[in-house]
Structure 1
Amino acid sequence: MPLGTLDRTPPPFFKQGPSALSKLMVCSALALFLMVADARFKITQPIRYVVGLVITPVQWLAYQPVQGVRLVTGYFESLGEAQRSEEQARKKLTLQSQRSNQVEQLALENARLRKLLDLRPRLTTESVPAEVLYDAADPYTRKVIIDKGLAQAIEAGSPVIDESGVIGQVTRVHPLISEVTLVTDREQAIPVLNTRTGARSVAYGDPAAHGGALELRFMAANADVKPGDVLTTSGVDGVYPPGLPVAVVERVERRADSAFARIVCKPQGLVDGARHVMVLKPVSPQIPPRPPAEEPTAAQKKGRKAAPPPPGAPQ
C-alpha cells in the first residue's frame, strides 16, 4: 500500500487542542468583558428579563409542594391553638360567671352596709372603648397610640385597662388620637394594694426586665410579700379606681447587703399585645374637695398662751 494513502492525523483520543491555561485566560477575559459591558451598558438586562419570565412559572410550580406542606402544617397548628384558646376562654368565662354572681351579692351587701353606716356611695367610673393603633416611635419608652382623643372627651391622666387588668395611663391627648404610657415604662408609677396582706405600696415600671415588668421599690427586706400575691389599684391617688388588677408578684429577692427587697411583678394586663382597651375617666373629679382650714375664733385667740421667748432674746 502506498505510503501517501495513510491517514497521518492522530486519533480523537490524542487530540489536545488549546492548552488549559489558554482556555482559562480566554474565559476570564470574556467574563471580565461581559461584567464591564453589563455594568456599563446593561447589555444582559433584556436577557435577564427573558430568563426570569421563563423561569418564574417553573419556580412557582416547584414551590407549590413546599407551600402546600406549610399550609397544612399551619392549619393544624392554628387549629390546635384555636382549640386551646377556646378551652381557656371557656374556663375564664365560667370563672367570670361565678365571680359575677358573687359580685352582685357583695355589691348589694355593700350598698346596704353603706346606707346603714351613712357612708358616701362608691365612685362610679365612665369608660370609652378604644383600639390600639401602633406603638410610639420612641424606642426608649413603652407607649402606644389609641384611636380616641379630644373629640371623644378623652382626658390626660385617664387610666387604660384591657380585659385582664391595667395597662397604662393617658399622658398626651390629641384631637383624634391619644398617647398611652404603659405601666412598664420607667416613668410610670402606680399605687397598689396587696390583696393578701392589705399593705399599700407603689409599683414602678421596669422596662429592663424581659418583656417588661413592674417593681415594688422601697419595701423592707422583711416585708410580708410572697410570689403569687395579687396587686390591685389602691385608689388613693385619685386617678385609678380601687380594685383594678395590676400585677402578680413573680420574684422576691432579699439581699443581706441591702435594707430593701427587690420585688419583681408581672403585669396582669396584656401590655405588649393589647388591641382593644377601655379608657376610664379619672376619679379625682368625683372626690369631694378638702374642706378649708377653719379660722380660730376670738375666744380661742385670747385663750392661747404666748410662747416663751427663746433663750438669750432681749426682754
Structure 2
Amino acid sequence: MALLLMVADARFKVMQPLRVALAAVLYPVQWLALQPVELAGRMGNYLSTLATAETAQEEARRKLSIQSQRANQVEQLELENQRLRKLLDLSQRLSTDFRAAQVIYDAADPYTRKVIIDKGLMHRVVVGSPVLDEAGVIGQITNVYPLVSEVTLITDRDHAIPVLNVRTGARGVAFGDTSTHADALELRYMAANADVAVGDLLTTSGVDGVYPPGLPVARVEKVERKVDAVFARIYCVPLGLVSGAEHVIVLDPLGDKVPARPVPEAPVTAAKSRGARP
C-alpha cells in the first residue's frame, strides 16, 4: 500500500489534496512554534541596533568634542598670529638690536609681578634689557640665568620707569601700583596743578639710558587733585599685556650705546699761568 501510494503520488499527485489539507491544519501550530524564535530574533536585532546607536552617539560626541577643541585652538592660534604680526611690525620699527622670547611662567613670589622667559646668558641677554610686547613696554630684565631670565613687570611695586606725556611733553616717573587694581601704574611727583588729563598717552622718555624713547607705556586712567596736597594722584593702566603676554621682544639696553661723559680738562694752575706770560 505504501509503495502504491508513493508511486501514485509521484506519477499522478493523488496525495496533493491531503498534503494541502494537512498544511492548512498544521499552520497555526507552526506559527505558534515560530513565535518564540521570531521574538528572540527581534529582541536581538533591537539590542544590536540600540548598541550600535549608542556607539554612534558616543562617537559623534567624541568628534564634536574634538571639533570644539580644534575650534578653540583655531581662535587661539588666530589671536596669537595677530599678536605675532604686530610684534613683527614693531620689531621692524626698532633701531636697536633685539631678540624674540617666550614667557614660560609667572614667578612663584605672590607679592611681586615677575615672569620668566626662555632666553638667558647663552642668548646674550643682559640685566637691564627692556622687554615689550606688541602693544608696549611690559618690564625689564632683572635677573639672568644660563637658559632663562627674570622679567620684572612695570606694574611691580618696586619698579619705576621714566615716561613722557605725549600731549604736553612733560616728563615724569611711573611706579608700579596695585592699590586700585592688580595691573596699574601711578605717575608720581607731579604737581597738583600739572597739565595731566584722563586719556593722555605716556611713552618712554629715553633719559634713563635703558629704554629707547617713544615706546608706549601706559595711558592715564584717573587724576585726583586735592587742595591740601602738593602732588596729584595720577593712576594709569599699562598698554602692554603685562598679565597675559606670551611672546615678547628683549631689547639691548641703551647704556652701552650712550657716549661716555667727557672728561673735564684739568684747570690751569696759577704757576703755569704766570710762566706762560710773555
Whether the TM-score (by the shorter chain) exceeds 0.5 is: yes
Distance 2:217 2:254 in 1: 17
Measure how far apart 1:262 and its partner are. 0.6
The alignment's C-alpha RMSD in Å is 3.7
Residue number among 200, 213, 219 corresponding to 1:229 in the alignment: 200
| Larger deviation, residues 253-262 vs 164-173 | 253-262
Shift of 1:295: 1.1
1:76-134 alpha-carbon deviations (Å, 9 max, x no partner): x959x78x969xx69x97xx89xx9xx8xxxxxxxxxxxxxxxxxxx941001000000
Q: Which residue of 2 aligns with 1:296?
A: 267
Matches of 2:240 and 2:141, distance apart in 1: 15
Q: Does 2:258 correspond to 1:287? A: yes
1:150 corresponds in structure 2 to 121
The structure-2 alpha-carbon separation of the partners of 1:259 and 1:71, relative to structure 1 and needing over 3 Å to count, comes to: farther
Query: 1:135 is aligned with what amino acid?
Result: D
Taking structure 1 as reference, are residues 262 and 134 closer, same or farther at Cα in structure 2, changes over 3 Å only? same
- Give the ranges of 4+ consecutive aligned residues of structure 1 lying more than 3 Å apart after TM superposition: 298-303
Structure 1 pair 78/194, CA: closer, same or farther in 2 (3 Å)?
A: same
Q: Do structure 1's residue 216 and structure 2's residue 218 form an aligned pair?
A: no
Instruction: Kindly provide the amino acid, as one letter, of the partner of residue 272 in structure 1.
Output: S
Q: Which TM-score applies when normalising by structure 2?
A: 0.67
User: 1:256 is matched with which residue?
Assistant: 227
Deviation at 1:208, TM superposition (A): 3.2
Listed as ranges, the gaps of 5+ residues in structure 2 are 1-53
CA offset digits 1:139-174 (Å, max 9, x no partner): 000000000000001000000000000000000000
Q: How does 1:119-268 map to 2 (within 5 A)?
A: 124-268=95-239
1:242-286 deviation per Cα after TM superposition (whole angstroms, max 9, x unaligned): 111000111111122312111001101000010000000001111
**Could you tell me which of 252, 274, 284 is aligned with 2:245?**
274
- Give identity over the alignment, percent: 59
Q: TM-score, normalised by structure 1?
A: 0.59
CA 1:294–1:182: 2 relative to 1, 3 Å: same
* CA separation of 1:302 and 1:253: change in aligned 2, threshold 3 A: same
**Code of the aligned partner of 2:143:** R
Larger Rg: 2
What SS does structure 2 have at the residue aligned with 1:260? coil
1:186-223: CA deviation from partner (whole Å, max 9, x where unpaired): 01000000011000000000133323101001111110
Change (3 A) 1:175 1:85: closer
Unaligned runs of 5+ in 1: 1-59, 104-122, 304-315
